[in-house]
Structure 1
Amino acid sequence: MPAKKRFKTDYPGVYFIEGQAVASGKPERIFYVMYRRDGRLIEEKVGRQFQDNMTAAKAARIRAERIEGRSPSNNARREAEEAAKQAEAGRWTLAKLWAEYSSHKTPGAALTTDRSRFEKYLKPAFGEKEPAEVLTLDLDRLRSRLLKQGKSPQTVKHVLALFKRLVRFGVKKGLCDSPAPRRQTISMPRVDNETTEDLDADELARLVQAIKDEPNIQAANFMRLAMFTGMRRGELFKLEWRDIDFERGFIHIRHPKGGKSQKIPLNDAARAVLASHPHVADSPYVFPGQGGKQRVTIQVASNRIKARAGLPADFRPLHGLRHLFASTLASSGEVDMLTLQKLLTHKSPNMTKRYSHLRDDALKQASEVAGNLLGNVGTPGDSTGRKVVSLGKER
């Protein structure tokens, strides 16, 4: 194809060729400039008459800027843009770290929850930043903002802990540098983990009746099993029929919150619930969700049962049943803390300590009974007729 004719302008080193406007197809001038830099002759396009509103005078000003080095040449600009793209591709922002981090995780409720925390809280604040660009002040502002929005200290702690995990993952995989401690320190909000939820006898009776009146048998038995075993909501969501060992009397809990898989005893009350519970065809789950897949929520039914029972507003239907199970055992005085820790599948005994005061109260009451019985023996007011057992002669 022959070269197009060049037309000179009144400005040195500026010329144009005739072309067609992209939008209208009408004739349009396309301006070029020529100049030398570092001994090399450079010839490059600077713009179109209509599309770029280019004129010969404007082209001359651009030529002067490029000769003086105040404006980069087209090639230099393209090289800079390419370098910027490559630099951006090499930047491990928090959003890219999350994508990589999540790809290494097993799909499930925990990952779904983390994804929600990232999308809601971390991505809007720090998604386009590299970990080292996030300062202590940024994290403090995020913590303060979430608390002011009414998020619980526990929720805020989970969000900041996820940020910490993402940074640690990036450093471990060699994707980013570890932020300098003097520039980035994470202050966790104080969380009151000593709260235990309990029901008095009347409230418990109303709850049992409300569960009995619940028309959704899946929801009713879900609540019953939570009450009789103390299992976590997520553990019940994941529970499969193969996890129930009726013969040996155990329930296998796969991947519990505490870490490795464990098993807990299948007591008579839980056995009765499971023995009568209907199986859903083509689903391995005891309490399946839609389409026989793993359930992800039971909130509507559990809140309905809570409302029917008239329970306190701050009682959490499922987590509260776990606390109810634990506090009932602890206050009986018949279960030691180590056994309770194993039944609750707590990884650390520190989590179980919140119930120790209930066991202490039960032991104190038992001690008082013994003290009253033995302390009154042989006194003038003692009419029990109990035998006094000789402890032997004093030595």
Structure 2
Amino acid sequence: MKLGDLRASPMGDVDRVRAGVERGTPTLTVEDVSALAAACDRVSPRYGDYVRLAAFLGMRAGELTALQVGDIDLNLGVVTVRRAFSAGSLQTPKSRRTRQVPVTQTVRTVLEPLLLDRSKSAPVLVGPLSGRLYHSNFRTKVQWSALVSRLGWPDLFFHDLRATAIVLWIRAGVPLSTVRALAGHASLTTTDRYARLARNDLSGAAAQIDSYIDGQQWQHHPR
């Protein structure tokens, strides 16, 4: 084994939260995702694809690293989430049930070259040395904490890319019951948390726009 490419520890996929700290859930815009993925591309294009798929498929890190070529049907336009990689082995997803996620054109562009001439049992995502992609190695190689701080999101966890996808679905007008199925949430209560987040983000944007318009009005003298 090469230094830095060892198997991940059982806690490798877990983002640490400081004890006693209440944390909101930041989400990225599509432009933000592109910037983050491009930064990871500079380390390895495979890491950039990892970010893109997380942000647009709404899959957890362990689900992405367990994804196999046979789980993707580009003709039907679906990705089937059957398993997750955790604690060094393949397991069932967190929800304990299989789910399907639609393949958008953005996702298709990422997936097509990754599936070309590969066996159905091959992992979709591999590391720079063509072995299994381990999340802990990804974090180390791209220097995740320093990277997201440099890009202006010091509190961003990789898992927030899943939240980004869910909020994008809600903003696109996908019904919450469908979002629940796509995300694999146990109940609509969980999904509604993301709906509130989406609404709060939009409210914040409206407030910024109002503030800007008010400022512009002060620059014009009334007739």
Shorter-chain TM-score range: 0.5 to 0.7
Q: Which residue of 2 aligns with 1:351?
A: 190
Q: Which residue of 2 aligns with 1:337?
A: 176
Q: Which residue of 2 aligns with 1:244?
A: 72
Change (3 A) 1:363 1:276: same
How does the TM-score come out when normalised to structure 1? 0.39
C-alpha deviations, 1:155-182, integer Å up to 9, x for none? xxxxxxxxxxxxxxxxxxxxxxxxxxxx
Change (3 A) 1:238 1:300: same
**Which of 288, 294, 299 is 2:126 aligned to?**
288
Change (3 A) 1:322 1:306: farther
Provide the rounded CA distance (Å) in 2 between the counterparts of 1:152 and 1:362: 24
Change (3 A) 1:202 1:267: closer
Q: Which residue of 2 aligns with 1:314?
A: 155
Report whether the alignment pairs 1:277 with 2:114. Answer: yes
Q: What is the CA distance between 1:237 and its match in structure 2? A: 0.6
Matched positions, count: 182
Q: What is the CA distance between 1:252 and its match in structure 2? A: 1.0
Provide the rounded CA distance (Å) in 2 between the counterparts of 1:309 and 1:342: 35
C-alpha deviations, 1:60-119, integer Å up to 9, x for none? xxxxxxxxxxxxxxxxxxxxxxxxxxxxxxxxxxxxxxxxxxxxxxxx98x9349xxxxx
Change (3 A) 1:262 1:310: same
C-alpha deviations, 1:46-68, integer Å up to 9, x for none? xxxxxxxxxxxxxxxxxxxxxxx
Change (3 A) 1:280 1:265: same
Provide the rounded CA distance (Å) in 2 between the counterparts of 1:205 and 1:293: 25
What pairs with 1:27-38 in structure 2 (closer than 5 Å)?
none
How does the TM-score come out when normalised to structure 2? 0.64
What pairs with 1:132-281 in structure 2 (closer than 5 Å)?
152-153=18-19, 195-199=24-28, 203-204=32-33, 206-211=35-40, 213-254=41-82, 255-277=92-114
C-alpha deviations, 1:124-179, integer Å up to 9, x for none? xxxxxxxxxxxxxxxxxxxxxxxxxx9745xxxxxxxxxxxxxxxxxxxxxxxxxx
Paired residues of 1:285 and 1:292 also in contact (CA < 8 A): no
Change (3 A) 1:205 1:306: same
Give the 3-state SS of the residue equivalent to 2:80 in structure 1.
Answer: strand
Provide the rounded CA distance (Å) in 1 between the counterparts of 2:27 and 2:97: 29
Q: Which residue of 1 aligns with 2:208?
A: none
Give the 3-state SS of the residue equivalent to 2:159 in structure 1.
Answer: helix
Paired residues of 1:259 and 1:347 also in contact (CA < 8 A): no
Q: What is the CA distance between 1:201 and its match in structure 2? A: 7.4
Q: Which residue of 2 aligns with 1:73?
A: none
Q: Which residue of 2 aligns with 1:327?
A: 167
Q: Which residue of 2 aligns with 1:112?
A: 10
Greater C-alpha Rg: 1
Provide the rounded CA distance (Å) in 2 between the counterparts of 1:306 and 1:201: 18
What pairs with 1:374-389 in structure 2 (closer than 5 Å)?
none
Change (3 A) 1:204 1:151: closer
Q: Percent identity?
A: 25
Provide the rounded CA distance (Å) in 1 between the counterparts of 2:198 and 2:149: 31
Provide the rounded CA distance (Å) in 1 between the counterparts of 2:11 and 2:69: 25
Give the 3-state SS of the residue equivalent to 1:277 in structure 2.
Answer: helix
Provide the rounded CA distance (Å) in 2 between the counterparts of 1:233 and 1:269: 19
Greater relative contact order, per chain length (Cα 8 Å cut-off, separation 6+): 2
Q: What is the CA distance between 1:336 and its match in structure 2? A: 2.3
Which stretch shows the higher mean deviation, 275-284 or 339-348?
275-284
Give the 3-state SS of the residue equivalent to 1:264 in structure 2.
Answer: strand
- Aligned alpha-carbon RMSD (Å): 3.9
Q: What is the CA distance between 1:229 and its match in structure 2? A: 0.8
Paired residues of 1:331 and 1:361 also in contact (CA < 8 A): no
In structure 2, list runs of 5 or more residues that go unmatched.
1-6, 83-91, 204-223
Provide the rounded CA distance (Å) in 2 between the counterparts of 1:216 and 1:363: 34
Query: Could you tell me which amino acid in structure 2 is paired with residue 343 of structure 1?
Result: L
In structure 1, list runs of 5 or more residues that go unmatched.
1-107, 115-149, 154-189, 365-395
Q: What is the CA distance between 1:363 and its match in structure 2? A: 9.5
